[in-house]
């Protein structure tokens, strides 16, 4: 019997290392993702997709900066929403084409997704996530004063804005997503971690922050009751002692083992840490299977012979 699987599409799905990230490149790269997902659907599984949007948001912020003298600026939250639609279209188009080749007629829909965050989250006191273009010192100081931005100095490249990365609390459009899943649609949701929102009834401004996409994906997978949560990235399996002589690939980890390795520093914040943390969030909430793998091994991993799995502790 088929499973409900949430697949978190990695940033390398649309823009590969060394590429400029043109629209044509993104359409071409989406084919691999689409083919892998369509194979899952053809195997009888139901699929929900989430995706990253870092490069696309960066490009949109650069555009709004360059066009500021001629058009209104787009705040970060609007850029997140816009790229959800942009990337959703690219993936929908690729999947529609792939399904036609396989003789499938499964509707695909992208949903603009808001995610509730806590205004008192400590992350708002210490912004750390760089966004947008680099600036000169004079530009950075002007924008800091004009927009109340937090600016950091990258000694080798210039000055850059940083924003907060709060913890996701609730998927606002959860019931809409669930309704689509129950009707048999493939849903793309939670793009870029979702558009962060406060429940403060203040319509004058949005929340200019970014949410970790894998953390949002884990919460969405658990709230939907997905039996499997897959993070697709650029490696087939997670490694211990990464880039050391003792490096070794992992097939399976229990939740307790994953926590112990995380505590020991095996999965750094700037590398595999957020992904493993997201897997632990999902498994602790849903007690399903969480997998990290790449697109080449997606089908094998779902069917039990690839990727790295995090599973519930056997005695709980």
In tens digits, the chain (316 residues) has pLDDT values of 689 999 999 876 788 878 888 999 999 999 989 999 999 999 999 999 999 999 999 999 999 989 999 999 999 999 999 999 999 999 999 999 999 999 999 999 999 999 999 999 999 999 999 999 899 999 999 999 999 999 999 878 899 999 999 999 999 999 999 999 999 999 999 999 999 999 887 777 789 999 999 999 999 999 999 999 999 988 899 999 998 999 999 999 999 999 999 999 999 988 899 999 999 999 999 989 999 999 889 999 999 889 999 999 987 5
Which is the catalytic residue, given 3, 11, 85, 158? 11
Q: 11 catalytic, yes or no?
A: yes
Cβ atoms within 10 Å, residue 157: 8
Which is the catalytic residue, given 213, 294, 306, 307? 213
Residue 11 structure tokens: 């940033």
Q: 12 catalytic, yes or no?
A: yes
Which is the catalytic residue, given 12, 29, 53, 294? 12
Q: 213 catalytic, yes or no?
A: yes
pLDDT of residue 19: 87
Contact 281, 220 (CB under 8 A): no
Q: Which regions of the chain carry the CATH code 3.40.1160.10?
A: 4-119+167-311
Which residue has tokens 């697709």?
232
Beta bridge partners of 108: 186
Which is the catalytic residue, given 53, 206, 275, 277? 275
Contact 35, 97 (CB under 8 A): no
Find how far residue 104's CA is from the centre of its chain.
27
Contact 222, 286 (CB under 8 A): yes
Among the CATH numbers 3.40.1160.10, 3.40.190.10, 3.90.1150.10, 3.40.190.150, which is that of 4-119+167-311?
Answer: 3.40.1160.10
From 44, 25, 31, select the one nearest 100 (Cα to Cα). Answer: 31
Which is the catalytic residue, given 3, 42, 129, 169? 129
Contact 161, 151 (CB under 8 A): yes
pLDDT of residue 39: 94
């Amino acid at each position: 019997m088929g499973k409900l699987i949430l697949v978190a599409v990695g940033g390398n799905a649309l823009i590969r290392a060394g590429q400029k990230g043109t629209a044509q490149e993104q359409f071409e790269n989406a084919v691999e993702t689409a083919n892998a997902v369509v194979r899952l659907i053809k195997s009888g599984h139901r699929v929900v997709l989430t995706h990253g949007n870092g490069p696309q948001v960066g490009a949109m912020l650069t555009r709004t900066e360059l066009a500021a003298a001629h058009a209104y600026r787009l705040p970060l939250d609007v850029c997140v929403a816009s790229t959800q639609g942009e990337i959703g279209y690219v993936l929908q188009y690729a999947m529609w084409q792939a399904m036609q080749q396989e003789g499938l007629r499964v509707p695909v829909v992208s949903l603009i997704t808001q995610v509730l965050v806590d205004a008192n989250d400590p992350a708002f006191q210490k912004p750390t996530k760089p966004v947008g273009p680099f600036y000169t010192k004079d530009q950075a100081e002007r924008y800091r004063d004009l927009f109340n931005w937090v600016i950091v100095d990258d000694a080798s490249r210039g000055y850059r804005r940083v924003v907060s990365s709060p913890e996701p609390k609730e998927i606002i459009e959860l019931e809409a997503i669930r309704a689509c899943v129950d009707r048999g649609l493939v849903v793309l949701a939670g793009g870029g971690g979702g558009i962060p929102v406060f429940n403060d009834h203040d319509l004058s401004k949005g929340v200019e922050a970014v949410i970790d996409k894998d953390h949002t994906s884990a919460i969405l997978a658990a709230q939907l009751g997905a039996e499997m949560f897959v993070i697709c990235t650029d490696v087939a399996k997670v490694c211990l002692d990464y880039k050391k002589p003792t490096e070794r690939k992992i097939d399976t980890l229990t939740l307790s083992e994953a926590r112990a390795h995380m505590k020991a520093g095996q999965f750094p914040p700037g590398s595999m840490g957020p992904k493993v943390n997201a897997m632990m969030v999902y498994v602790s909430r849903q007690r399903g299977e969480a997998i990290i793998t790449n697109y080449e091994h997606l089908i094998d991993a779902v069917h039990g012979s690839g990727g790295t799995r995090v599973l519930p502790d056997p005695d709980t």
